[in-house]
Amino acid sequence: MCVACRQLKTRDQMFRFVKSKDQKQIIENPDGKSSGKGLYICRDKKCWDRLWSRRNLKRTIATRISPEGVEWVEQSLGGKG
């Protein structure tokens, strides 16, 4: 389920991130094989923007995503903006 829009979609329609027990940051997990608490965001620019615009999501999730994870999503969505 997407953390931004709360819709159920298949894994290939979503970005997967994981927060491992030993890290405070949320990192990208494109292959889905890393262990830890996972979260999903739709492969849709609207959901990515919603993640950053909704205060509660930004505070709990968006500010902890690693810079590499942010770059991974933005490149997949066609660049920043």
CATH number at residue 51: 3.30.1230.10
Cut 0.85: pTM above it: no
Residue 41 lies in a domain: yes
Closest CA to 42 of 80, 81, 3: 3
What is the pLDDT at residue 20?
67
Span 34-58, mean pLDDT? 87
Domain membership of residue 20 (yes or no) is yes
How many structural domains is the chain composed of?
1
- Domain span at residue 24 reads 11-76
Tell me, yes or no, whether 1 lies in a domain.
no
Is residue 26 included in any domain, yes or no?
yes
Is residue 69 included in any domain, yes or no? yes
Domain annotation covers residue 81: no
Is residue 46's pLDDT more than 80? yes
pLDDT at 2 over 60: yes
| Higher per-residue confidence, 56 vs 47 | 47
Mean pLDDT over 39-65 rounds to: 87
